[in-house]
Structure formats: C-alpha cells, structure tokens
Amino acid sequence: MSDEDVTRLLKEAYSDEIETVMNYLSNAVVLDGVRAEEIKNSLEADVQEELDHARMLAERLKQLDEQPPGSMEFEARQESLQPPEDTTDVPSVIEGVLEAEDDAIETYKQLAKAAEENDDLVTEDIAVTLLTDEEAHRTEFRGFRKEYVQD
Ligand SMILES: [Fe+2]
Ligand SMILES: [Fe+2]
C-alpha cells in the first residue's frame, strides 16, 4: 500500500466519523422509552468521542499537506443507522451501531497497516488509538444487545 492509500483511508475514516456523529446524535434524541435512556446516554457520550476522532483525522490530513473532505464530497453509507420510524425500536439502533463500529474497526485496521508499510508512525499511532476506542464502543453495544435479546 502506498502513501496515497494512507491519505485515502484517512479521508474515508474522516467521512465515516462525521456520518457517525450525525446518526448517533439523531438516535440519541429520537428514541423513546424507559429502557432507551441508557442507550441514549451512551450515544450522546459517543457523539463527542466520534467528533474528536474526526478532528484527529483532519489534523493528521493537514500535517500530510492534505485536506479533510467538505460536505460536497460527502457520500452517505450508514443505511442501517437511520433513526427508526418506530422510535421504541431500540434493537434496530443497537444493530446499526454495531455495524458502524465494525466498519470503523475494519477501516482503522487497514489504516494502521497502510501507515506501517509506509513507515508513517504518527498515522499508525492515531489509527491504533482510534481502533482501541471503537473496540470499546463495540463491546458496550454488544452488552446492550445481549440484554435486549434476553427479553
Ligand atoms: Fe470513531
Ligand atoms: Fe465508535
């Protein structure tokens, strides 16, 4: 993989983080029900974390003499994370979050690998840091899924 792969993956990851912020923010607001409260609080906290991820990726792109994409370059991909019509349908949001976190984990693994091959240790470090956060998010939502499946 070349240094172009590194910048392509950085831009892709940046866009995914921005889309995640949009969808977590929306879902954190729209869900209804007593049992949804925990999920909403968790999504709300993650909005800030994912925004911080986007900022770290944007700053790294700048350091590499590149730019994070603006909205006209944006391509939506998180179909499964759209706020549900039935606002009590918490399980569908949990599944959407798990899919988004799996995607992010895959992207950061690829980014870490591409960065390592190009001897870009700073990008590699960022990729591993964000990978650690996304794995923690996934573990948390796997726990929520377990609870919902039991009922
Ligand atoms: Fe993230
Ligand atoms: Fe995440």
pLDDT, one tens digit per residue, over 80-92 is 999 999 999 999 9
The pLDDT score that the predictor gives to residue 150 is 67
Ligand 2 centre from 18 Cα, in Å?
11
Residue 11 pLDDT more than 80? Answer: yes
The string of pLDDT tens digits covering residues 16-53 is: 999 999 999 999 999 999 989 999 999 999 999 999 99
**Amino acid identity of 69?**
P
Query: Given the structure tokens 């798990």, which residue do they identify?
Result: 98
Ligand 1 centre from 21 Cα, in Å?
9
Ligand 2 centre from 88 Cα, in Å?
22
* pLDDT band at residue 125 under the 50/70/90 scheme: very high
* pLDDT band at residue 148 under the 50/70/90 scheme: confident
Residue 4 pLDDT more than 90? Answer: yes
* pLDDT band at residue 151 under the 50/70/90 scheme: low
Ligand 1 centre from 24 Cα, in Å?
11
Q: Which domains does the chain carry?
A: 3-150 (1.20.1260.10)
Distances (CA, A) of 53 to 1, 14, 25, 46: 23, 8, 15, 10
Ligand 2 centre from 137 Cα, in Å?
5
Q: Calculate mean pLDDT across residues 108-117.
A: 98
Ligand 2 centre from 32 Cα, in Å?
22
Ligand 1 centre from 134 Cα, in Å?
6
Indicate left, alpha or beta for 74 from its phi (over 0: left) and psi (-120 to 50: alpha): beta
